[in-house]
Structure 1
Amino acid sequence: MTGAMDGRAEDRGRVFQASGDQHISEHHHYGAEADPAGGPDSVRRPAVGRPPVVLRDRADVLERLRAGVRAGRCGEVYVLYGMGGCGKTAVAYTFFQFAVDACGRVGLWVSASDRASLRAGMLAVAADRGAADGELLAARNGLRAAADLVWQYLDRSAEPWLLVLDNADQPEILGDGSWLRTSARGTVVVTTRRSAAHWWPGAELQHIGVLPGADAARVLRDLAPHSGTEEEAAQIAERLGRLPLALTLAGGFLSQQVLDPWTMETYGRRLDEGERVELIDQGADALSRKDPRHLVGLTWQLTLDAFEARGLPEATALLRLLARFAPEPLPLSLLNRADLDAVLPPARCETALRALLDQSLTELVDVGARCVHSHGVLLDSVAAATPAGTAPVLDSTAVRLLDVAVPERPDAGPHDPLLRLLVPHALALLRRIGAPATAADALEVATRLAVALHRTGDYLSAWETARTAADLGERRLGAEHRAVLAARSRAGRALFRLGRYPEAEPLLTEVRTAQDRLFGADDPDTLDSAHGLQLVLGNLRRRDEALALLRATVAGRRRTLGAAHPLTLRSRSSLLVLLSAAEVTVEEGGALLDLPDACDRLLGPDHTVTLGARHNRAWALYQLGRFAAADAELRLVTEAYRRRFGPDYPIALSAQQLLARTRSALGHPDEGTALMADVVTRRERGLGPGHPFTLASRELLSTFTSGQPHPPGA
């Protein structure tokens, strides 16, 4: 190969045309010190707060499930389906505990409610079963098929296991990447509201419906034994449609009345006097007028009325705020904020939360981070019944709480499972919000969350979050709103990182063209899209177009942001990679090679932009044949990358591979060969022996061991 782009295939990390990995502020790492079995991605603990003390009328289902694991059978897939609130998760939890405690199975619990949660949970399963950090990192980066990695380790598991995929109400998510498979080493249980057989080929389907009358009455008696007779409990249970969720809410209410306790007879009378609360059970079939899910609204409304009577209006306000978010674990840290003050006094949040917990309107779950978790049917019902006049304040408060939780200026950092927990809530807000101004704020937060995911190397989640947020925002704001275009630009950047250049190029071109027309060529958003587009063009071997666009981006950022701004320095640094050896020496009057020193003075030696500029300069020096200078630079860069990003991160291996070249060029072939052999080993472990990056590294290693020359550009 010849020309400015030669040789960057191996030494620029993630893509063969190396300019991609020199997008300086987007170097990512996965901390090798992180414990993959801990943190919010932990899969050994079911995301269930308070399981039922007694599980009524599920004996036949449980016996069929238990018989399989008791006999040591594996390879089965069971699908527990039914309407929201019927207790599918409770059945799965009870079976999970039996399989773990009585049969010695390894229990693995994953939320399958959305793509980000499913992928994160399944990769945590792979980590639990022995996957190395480098392999997990490669899967998050999109460098290897994540589902294949997970099932490879499930199939190799030394111990038999039980895997629960909870709340799989969008079965198409499981089909993307073939997440649902069978294995000779374990059993899979799925809970879902979707029963169509074509979603579950080869699985045994088990319907979980409402309870029989006697068992439904016993649930109320279990929860509130002193509130009435069995006959009265049976009447209330029938009035509630024998739906376990409604029964739990009613029993929780009755059991907590102290000063003026209600009897079941009183509760039944108030139910008859109440108005039906409409709701949409998202993910399930349409409701009939007699569907018991309609009655969930009556049960919680009676509880909220009692809160008001007891002088606890904050509990009502908090429940309505929770209903702006998704029915997924919500980190408690979001509620420990002064930003609550528009909805309820922050000092009263603890009391309000305890009241909701006491009445079973929400529950605490520990998924590595302490979270509050509410049922989807309940939240849909509460949101539908929230007075229209209070919705704007609830929406703006929810956006502010999420805004504080997302890093203000996301930077390269280790994999952060907490970010994944925020994704469904950011998207739920965009679905709930009606006011355009608040929707724009929510979209900006969701886009920043996508950036944060991107910069931890979770490119698939970043792309899905940005793409979905842009689609939702467009419905409220229109296709040419600044925030919508920014979200689409971020989706294009993630596609680039995933190596999907043919998709990224037209998307970024379209976005940049619209931004140029609407905001001007020197607008920061336009320039950001331009920087991303030149990376794609360079990797599509359209080097002249990429270079012209990069030069224009540098000039625009100088005018708009100033010469010392990190983004300006980052774009200038990219020139060190895109230019040929001859061009580097004359660009900017020869000053470009001094750029890393300027970054050091302006930003500090450990700033991400500074490290990237040093890496880029090392490449330029190597191309110029100045091996000693390149080697000295690379020693510093390699050590910093290993310290910050871990030894398996692509950019760290890229630097090490270039260091192997400089060591060999300086007359230390044994050291160069050892460095290259380590790169090959790590890439084989992380990417597999047949991955193009592994093959390229192995080919370069062969030139070291054979004594063939490997000059700059080779």
Structure 2
Amino acid sequence: MSKRMDGRADSNGRVYQASGDQHIVEHHHHNEMGSVAWEGIESVRHPTGGRAPVVLRDRTELMERLQAAVAPEAGNQVYVLHGMGGCGKTAVARTLFQYATTDGNRVGLWVNAADRTSLRSGMLAVAADMGATEGELIAARNGLRAPADLVWDRLGSSARPWLLVLDNADDPEILQDGGWLRVSPRGTVLVTTRRAAARWWLHAELHHVGVLPREAAAQVLCDLAPESGTMEEAAEIADRLGRLPLALTLAGGFLSHQVIDPWTMTRYGHHLGGHGHVDFIDQGAIALAREDARHLITRTWQLSLDALAGRGMQESTALLRLLACYGADPLPITLLNTPQINGVVPQARAEVALRGLLDQSLTAVVDVGVRCLQTHAVLLASVAASTPREQVTELTGTAALLLAAHVPAIPQRGPQDPRMRLLAPHVIALLRNSTEASVVAETLDVAVRLTCALHRTGDYLSAWELASAAVAGAEPELGREHRLVLSAHSRTGRALFRLGRFEESEAVLRSVLADREKLFGPDDPDTLDSYFGINPPLQELGRVAEGIALLRRAMDGRERVLGRQHPLTLQAQAHLLECLPIAELVLEVDNAEMPLPQECALHLGPQHAVTLGARLSYAVALFRLGRFDAAVLDARLVAEDYQRRHGPDYALTLSAQHLSARARAALGDMDSAVELMVVVAHRREQSLGAEHPYTVQSYELLEEYRAQAAAHLTD
């Protein structure tokens, strides 16, 4: 074949290119997950916004309007609940959700819309719930088709009417940027947000959710702690708490859990004035006409912590302050079950401390496929603002260590630990909450590793967003020239490449390369990694010779610095086999003292990932040299090994089978080539999507082989 075929790769990919009559079209994805079942972790059929209210007080008129919105045949409308944090927007949404899924006979779908990653992950889980295929979902995650289009196509074809709740949408830009907020005649959308500006919610019906009327607020306290006092006493407490539902919930949780020495509401009221106000920003919220209730949250949780301390659970205070270092998204509970927590709370006491917080309604357990804690954002902000300054460094440092303990130092290929994606918003929150350079650096190191883990599972959009956000959070503190900042930029560039933004990828990676050369020198491992990593976008942009030159520099430098037998040196040498000019390739293959796969097996072991990759690269080299019988044998054997290790949908399994089919076709065995290419094309469509270039290429070759097979029959 003489026509040009597009090749794409990144630091873990391969590109085979040549001109003239060479048969050089193949694509591989190294160090990435193949086709796997959808790993959606969100329990989209259940609300994740904390506990439901015992009884939803007041809100009668609002609930009547919203219940009408989920009546039979109702749909094609967006409703927005707006108000300051803690005013009960999520409680209203939960109540409607329960009504819609029972009395309304609707499918209920709940998505956390607090940040881009959570929103996309949740919405794709909605698509999966609505019947999207595995291939469609993976293509959307990889950025190969518009994720929002897939979600809304599935929602629009739902057999049952639905209610979709987008909770905590306090950054409306992310809904607009991705085209996530739409309408459908099959369902109703309910949004909760602090942002009330009409420009964000065109054509939506807006409803303000404010504080409760006096009587309803008093009743909330009586619902939660019915033995603590009269309605009038409850009303006085409610007034002092600004009648803010979150503050009332915290106060009621406190009163209901005093067992040895129960408190009355009167006694509680006497203690409310003993704690100072803490002013924190509730951005985008509408201020209250009377005393700003944002100042009042501190009073409630501080009394709860004092009571816990009086019962011998002083560690609950430290644990809550530790949680305040993170974000309001679900936080995997296992994070707290590691020795690194000893810097703040003795690990043996973490369980007791957490039970105290749960008893006082200061946090809640939610199940999103992984058991997590979720704490109200307003409460976290209040706790963080009141934390003594001398404790901040120790708290944020411990928070960073806990994250570091849960993110692998060297992320591996294969199915992702579902906790990884859940950690991303907390890494970014910790970067925002940290001011000590050492803590920022530790957290950025976690972010870089986590980005790599997401990338290697094919979640390129999340990897790009995490890397970009990490750079934005850390660079002001550490500076552009910090080694970890440059690593985060590099991860951004590699994710951009996988998203098909080749020019942007090359620009970012070239800038990183220039900085690394200047700061660290040409033989630094990070600089060598840049030589290696920039080759793929250069190949894609047609700058083949430049890419090969930098790849050679990577291999030579790694050999000098790391040694001839180091996995990274051997990996770079294998990649060179895939793009060297034919004349050089002949010398490289025929003059070697030992074939590269054997050398890798000798030094790394026969099942090492680099050994398997070298075997596939060597098979490609044989194919390029026209040694088709040997190429068929090597490609078949390595395909079998990949399938045993990673399954039939694994990207390298398919790449090896693809190569085997091409070699069989070159030998004239068109029936075998067609049979094998049918499998490859179908599995690539399922794992990559119908529009992925590798899928398109496989189907083009399939049609070519079928035509040749038919021509042979007519001859």
TM over 0.5: yes
- Matched residue, 1:42: 43
| 2:438 aligned partner | 437
C-alpha distance in 2 between matches for 1:244 and 1:661: 67
Normalised to the residue count of structure 2, the TM-score between the two structures is 0.93
Q: What residue is the counterpart of 2:630 in the other structure?
A: 629
Report the Cα distance in structure 1 between the residues aligned to 2:166 and 2:684, rounded to whole angstroms. Answer: 31
What does residue 22 of structure 2 align with? none
1:436–1:477: 8 Å Cα contact kept in structure 2?
Answer: yes
Instruction: Name 2:660's counterpart in structure 1.
Output: 659
Cα distance change on mapping 1:688 and 1:460 into 2, 3 Å: closer
SS of alignment partner, residue 164 of structure 1: strand
Q: Distance in 2 between matches of 1:162 and 1:646?
A: 38
How far apart in 1 are the matches of 2:14 and 2:535?
A: 15
Structure 1 residues 554-593: aligned runs within 5 Å: 554-587=555-588, 590-591=591-592
Which is further off, 400-409 or 180-189? 180-189
Q: 2-side partners of 1:190 and 1:45: how far apart?
A: 16
Instruction: Determine helix, strand or coil for the equivalent of 2:273.
Output: helix
- The residue number in structure 1 matching 2:33 is 28
Aligned-pair CA distance for 1:17: 5.2
Rounded to whole Å, the distance in 2 between the matches of 1:581 and 1:289 is: 80
Q: Identify which range, 691-700 or 234-243, moves more after superposition.
A: 691-700
Equivalent position of 1:73 in the other structure: 74
The 5 Å alignment of 1:28-427 reads: 28-32=33-37, 36=39, 40-282=41-283, 284=285, 290-427=291-428
Amino acid at match of 1:707: Q
Instruction: Give the whole-Å Cα distance in 1 for the aligned partners of 2:413 and 2:289.
Output: 50
Counterpart contact for 1:28–1:414, Cα < 8 Å: yes
Shift of 1:467: 1.1
1:626 positional shift = 1.3
Change (3 A) 1:385 1:560: same
- CA–CA separation in structure 2 for the residues paired with 1:248 and 1:169: 22
Residues 411 and 373 from structure 1, CA distance in 2 versus in 1: closer, same or farther, beyond 3 angstroms? same
CA distance in structure 2 between the partners assigned to 1:21 and 1:442 by the alignment: 38
Q: Quote how far apart the aligned CAs of 1:45 are.
A: 2.1
CA contact 2:10–2:537 (8 Å) conserved in 1:
no
**Secondary structure of the equivalent of 1:372?**
strand
* CA drift at 1:25: 4.8
Number of the residue aligned with 1:552 = 553
Amino acid of the structure 2 residue aligned with 1:26: N
Are the equivalent residues in 2 in contact too, given 1:15–1:21 (CA < 8 A)? no
Distance in structure 2 (CA, Å) of the matches to 1:555 and 1:61: 70
CA positional deviation for 1:339: 1.0
Secondary structure at the aligned position of 1:707 is classed as: helix
SS at structure 2 position matched to 1:70: coil
Bigger mean CA offset, 620-629 vs 547-556 = 620-629
Per-residue Cα deviation, 1:318-360 (whole angstroms, up to 9, x for no partner): 0000000111111010001111111111111111000000101
Q: Secondary structure at the match of 1:578?
A: coil
Counterpart CA distance in 2 for 1:687 and 1:185 is: 29
CA distance in 2, matches of 1:180, 1:76: 11
Specify the SS of the correspondent of 1:188.
Answer: strand
Distance 1:593 1:667, change over 3 A: farther
Report the more deviating stretch, 502-511 or 184-193.
184-193
Distance 2:593 2:215 in 1: 81
How far is 1:377 from its partner?
0.3
Matched letter for residue 590 of structure 1: N
More deviation in 568-577 or 323-332? Answer: 568-577
Q: 1:23: how far off? A: 7.7
Letter in 2 for 1:150: V
Deviation at 1:275, TM superposition (A): 1.0
Q: How far did residue 478 of structure 1 move?
A: 0.9
- Cα separation, 2, equivalents of 1:566 and 1:22: 21
**CA-to-aligned-CA distance 1:174-218 (integer Å, 9 cap, x gap):** 122211111222221111111112212222112111111110000
**Distance in 2 (alpha carbons) for counterparts of 1:639 and 1:358:** 55
CA distance in 1, matches of 2:26, 2:52: 47
How far apart are 1:708 and its partner, in Å? 7.9
Structure 2: 5+ residue stretches without partners = 18-24
Do 1:30 and 1:415's aligned partners in 2 also have CA atoms closer than 8 Å? no
Query: What amino acid sits opposite 1:535 in the alignment?
Result: P
Match of 1:510 in 2: 511
Report deviation, 1:571: 1.3
Q: Provide the C-alpha distance between the structure 2 equivalents of 1:11 and 1:448, rounded to a whole number of angstroms.
A: 20
Distance change >3 Å, CA 427–CA 133, structure 1 → 2 = same
CA–CA distance in 2 between the matches of 1:492 and 1:643? 32
Any conservation in 2 of the 1:657–1:675 contact (CA below 8 Å)?
A: yes
Contact 1:412–1:608 (CA under 8 A) maintained in structure 2: no
For structure 1, the residue ranges without an aligned partner over 5 or more in a row are: none
Query: How far did 1:684 drift?
Result: 4.8
Q: Aligned with 1:107: secondary structure? A: strand
- 1:589-628 matches, cutoff 5 A: 590-591=591-592, 594-628=595-629
How has the CA–CA distance of structure 1 residues 112 and 262 changed in structure 2, closer, same or farther, with 3 Å as cutoff?
A: same
C-alpha separation between the residues in 2 aligned to 1:675 and 1:88?
Answer: 56
Cα gap change, 1:197 to 1:470, in 2 (>3 Å): same
Question: 1:653 deviation in Å?
Answer: 3.6
- Aligned partner of residue 372 in structure 2, secondary structure: strand
Contact residue 36 and residue 649 of structure 2 kept, 8 A? no
Contact 1:395 1:433 (C-alpha < 8 Å) held by counterparts: yes
Distance in 1, matches of 2:561 and 2:615, equals: 25
> Contact conserved, 2:54 with 2:224, CA < 8 A, in 1?
no
What CA distance in whole angstroms lies between the structure 2 residues aligned with 1:11 and 1:219?
Answer: 59
CA contact (8 A) 2:196 2:284 kept: no
Is this contact kept in 2: 1:25–1:609, CA < 8 A? no
Measure, in 2, the Cα distance between the counterparts of 1:453 and 1:690: 22
Give the aligned residue type for 2:328.
P
Identify the range of structure 1 (621-630 vs 582-591) with the bigger mean alpha-carbon deviation.
Answer: 582-591
2:7–2:539 contact (8 Å) kept in structure 1:
no
Change in Cα spacing, 1:516 to 1:2, as seen in structure 2 (3 Å) is farther
- CA distance, structure 2, for counterparts of residue 600 and residue 545 of structure 1: 30
Aligned-partner residue type, residue 125 of structure 1: V
Q: How far 1:269 moved relative to its partner?
A: 1.9
Range moving further from structure 2, 570-579 or 149-158: 149-158
Over the matched positions of the two proteins, sequence identity in percent amounts to 56
Alignment of 1:688-703 (within 5 A): 692-703=693-704
**Whole-angstrom distance in 2 between the partners of 1:152 and 1:648:** 26
Residue type of the alignment partner of 1:27: E
Question: 3-state DSSP class of the match of 1:472?
Answer: helix
Q: Indicate if the aligned counterparts of 2:684 and 2:694 stay in contact, CA closer than 8 A.
A: yes
Separation in 1 of the partners of 2:74 and 2:641? Answer: 50
1:587 to 1:488, Cα distance in 2 relative to 1, 3 A: same
Aligned ranges for residues 430-469 of structure 1 at < 5 Å? Answer: 430-469=431-470
- The one-letter code sitting in structure 1 at the alignment partner of 2:579 is L
- Residues 42-98 of structure 1 deviation map (CA, whole Å, 9 limit, x = unaligned): 312221442111011122222222223222322221111111111111111111111
SS of residue in 1 equivalent to 2:595? helix
- Give the aligned residue type for 2:603: L
Shift in alpha-carbon separation, 1:340–1:679, aligned structure 2, 3 A = same
- Work out which structure has the larger RCO, using CA pairs closer than 8 Å and 6 or more positions apart in sequence: 1
Give, in angstroms, the shift of residue 494 of structure 1: 0.9
Q: AA paired with 2:442?
A: D
AA partner of residue 34 (structure 2): H
- For the Cα contact (< 8 Å) 1:10–1:657, is it kept in 2? no
